[in-house]
A and B are shown apart, each in its own frame.
Chain A
């Protein structure tokens, strides 16, 4: 079990006029090697939750276990936890500070106190994983494009060699191509490197395409958990809490209403095209 959270409640600024309960009685399990997506609208507690995963925040109540270890237990090395659980914040490029891409990515490994060779090996590994070749090593991170900067920042976290990677809206502000490139890289990391990935996203298309399981947060509580198909089956309820379904789901629903006999739990356009094709061919045969 990569992450296990039990009865977690978190309150900001307790006993002040600004008191606010961000999370309430959260119970979550994320398995090793899973690709999980957390969705929920702004203020639902997503960002608070992911800071629990690597111990940046300490819950007011409840337990957080990483690989079976209670991270707020006694004699726990907090730094080791943060090494194991890599956290990529929103707009991570705003954390870049070194003169070169290489130096910036090396920041994490240096903090771990590794030797020169290991640092070199890890930086190369991380930059390769995000798809930045040698020609970028000595460039200043500030001359790169938005998408490239973001990848440098993600490499900075990957260089810690975490086994769990958590990303808070990694594609925010990127254009469709930047978004697709980044998702493909994440998929490669998930498959090739066996990383457990937890992704916060607002894009239902992307969640439907990449996540194996979804967790829906609403007002600090877990509203739904399950595979994308299971979760998106709650169409109307999702809409009530300010979330949507992938566009194709609406198209299929309209077709079904008009009397077309097709499944409506399909979440990608490609899959839908195949289904509709089969249906149309059948209809043609019946008519003939």
Chain B
């Protein structure tokens, strides 16, 4: 069942955002993240929320779907908020107990951190939701290409990413299978202290590594049989081109960025 869940949570619909060049989306996401850190008051966040909302509407990805992604960072979010509430000094003291104090300043900073984190996660998940993993790797490969001269193995990085994306769900499923098989032989992964539990992982990790190596070996053989010999001399089925939609996006993103700095 794990196989049904695509890594990166790509949401396959047709929208202007989906049609954009992955390079443009990666660059704009970067600009967005940097822009986000320029903002330090609530009017600014309001502006970002508006822009983000408009983009999400355009992407046709349901908001509900985006918010689901936040569940996984709930712990980090609460932790950050708590940290900021209790340990920020300055401003009017609202409540205090022992070494814990809550100040006005603390509440404001905590709220801002929460806004920043939530907007960061939603904004970057918009990238993965609207860009298929393969486009994403293509985009990264392309953006890294200029750095090849200083020794950045752009093609190899992209190939590794793409193979990982392909095999992570398979290996997850395999882990599930091996775990069940060992449970059928009476293995217990749930009880005991940390050392016992770590030891209990051996019967899972060993077969998993052996399987991963076997797969790697077979895959390498299959790739060689299909004449793979590295990035040199390779052509691509899809070559990337900036289109009108990308230029429009760049202009809008620049406006957004300026907005972030001014506000």
A and B touch in the complex (CB under 8 A): yes
**A residues lining the B interface (CB < 8 Å):** 12-13, 18, 20, 51, 54, 56, 79, 82-83, 86-89, 92, 94-97, 107-108, 111-112, 142, 156-157, 160
- Would you call B184 and A142 a contact (CB within 8 A)? no
| A162 nearest in chain B by CB position | B184
| Least Cβ–Cβ distance between B191 and chain A, in angstroms | 10
Residues of B near A13 (CB, < 8 A) are 1, 4
18 other A-B residue contacts (CB within 8 Å) besides A94-B174, A157-B184:
A18-B5, A20-B1, A56-B180, A56-B183, A79-B188, A89-B180, A94-B177, A94-B207, A94-B210, A95-B181, A95-B185, A97-B206, A97-B207, A107-B187, A111-B185, A111-B188, A156-B185, A157-B185
- Would you call A108 and B185 a contact (CB within 8 A)? yes
Find B178's partner among A87, A94, A107, A108 (CB 8 Å cutoff).
Answer: A94
- Would you call B186 and A95 a contact (CB within 8 A)? no
Answer whether residue B40 sits at the interface, using C-beta atoms and an 8 A cutoff: no
| Least Cβ–Cβ distance between B19 and chain A, in angstroms | 23
- Would you call B207 and A96 a contact (CB within 8 A)? yes
- Would you call A18 and B207 a contact (CB within 8 A)? no
Residues of A near B185 (CB, < 8 A) are 95, 107-108, 111, 156-157, 160
Answer whether residue B182 sits at the interface, using C-beta atoms and an 8 A cutoff: yes
Residues of A near B184 (CB, < 8 A) are 54, 56, 82, 86-89, 157
Q: Produce 1/0 per residue, B80-93, CB < 8 A to A.
A: 00000000000000
Q: Produce 1/0 per residue, B167-182, CB < 8 A to A.
A: 0000000100110111
Residues of A near B182 (CB, < 8 A) are 95, 107
Q: Tell me the complex Cα distance, A79–B183, Å.
A: 9
Known contacts: A13-B1, A97-B203. The answer to whether A112 contacts B178 by CB under 8 A is no
Answer whether residue B202 sits at the interface, using C-beta atoms and an 8 A cutoff: yes
Known contacts: A18-B5, A89-B181, A95-B182. The answer to whether A111 contacts B207 by CB under 8 A is no
Residues of B near A111 (CB, < 8 A) are 185-188
- Would you call A82 and B183 a contact (CB within 8 A)? yes
Q: How many A-B pairs with Cβ below 8 Å?
A: 63
Q: Which of A94, A96, A108, A142: most chain B Cβ within 10 A?
A: A94
| Least Cβ–Cβ distance between B244 and chain A, in angstroms | 33
Q: Tell me the complex Cα distance, A112–B184, Å.
A: 11
| A92 nearest in chain B by CB position | B181
Answer whether residue B145 sits at the interface, using C-beta atoms and an 8 A cutoff: no
- Would you call B188 and A95 a contact (CB within 8 A)? no
Answer whether residue B164 sits at the interface, using C-beta atoms and an 8 A cutoff: no
| Least Cβ–Cβ distance between B60 and chain A, in angstroms | 16
CB pairs A–B below 8 angstroms (18 shown): A12-B1, A13-B1, A20-B1, A51-B180, A56-B184, A88-B184, A89-B184, A94-B181, A95-B181, A97-B202, A97-B203, A97-B207, A107-B187, A111-B186, A112-B186, A157-B184, A157-B185, A160-B185
Residues of B near A18 (CB, < 8 A) are 1, 4-5
- Would you call B186 and A160 a contact (CB within 8 A)? yes
| Least Cβ–Cβ distance between A89 and chain B, in angstroms | 5
Answer whether residue B254 sits at the interface, using C-beta atoms and an 8 A cutoff: no
Answer whether residue B211 sits at the interface, using C-beta atoms and an 8 A cutoff: yes
Residues of A near B1 (CB, < 8 A) are 12-13, 18, 20
| A111 nearest in chain B by CB position | B186
| B203 nearest in chain A by CB position | A97
Nearest first, the 9 closest Cβ-Cβ pairs linking A and B are A111-B186, A97-B206, A108-B185, A95-B181, A87-B184, A18-B4, A89-B181, A12-B1, A97-B203
- Would you call B186 and A83 a contact (CB within 8 A)? yes
